[in-house]
Amino acid sequence: MVHVTADSDVIEQRMADDPHENMIISAGDIEKVKDRFAELVDWSLLANKIVIDNSGSMEETMSVFVRKIEPFLTDFDRSRMDEHSS
């Protein structure tokens, strides 16, 4: 399970910069939503969990993801990646 989160200020700024027509949460809801997601991730029976902070750039986020997912990759996963990279 990958739990993607970000600083509340970053989420609020992103909401302001790129508002959706049918926005379902307001800036005042951000902390409650983040807390509830974290609670549900903690309760999950899935054993393999990583948390990715998406507050930075896409490149930074992907770099962290690649580093954190590495221990969970199987030999089969790695061989498939090798096949697709050539």
If pLDDT is split at 50, 70 and 90, which confidence band does 85 have? confident
Asked if residue 4 has pLDDT above 90, the reply is yes
Convert the pLDDT of each residue in 10-64 to its tens digit: 999 999 999 999 989 999 999 999 999 999 999 999 999 999 999 999 999 999 9
Cα atoms found within 13 Å of the Cα of residue 16, Cβ hemisphere only: 9
Task: Determine the Cα–Cα distance for residues 40 and 35; give it in Å rounded to an integer.
Answer: 9
Lowest mean pLDDT among 3-7, 66-70, 73-77, 82-86: 82-86
Q: Which phi-psi region, left, alpha or beta, contains residue 49 (left: φ > 0; alpha: ψ -120 to 50)?
A: beta
Give 20's contacts (C-beta < 8 A, 6+ positions apart).
none
Quote the pTM value.
0.81
Residue 20 to residues 13, 15, 25, 26, 43, Cα–Cα distance (Å):
13, 8, 10, 11, 30
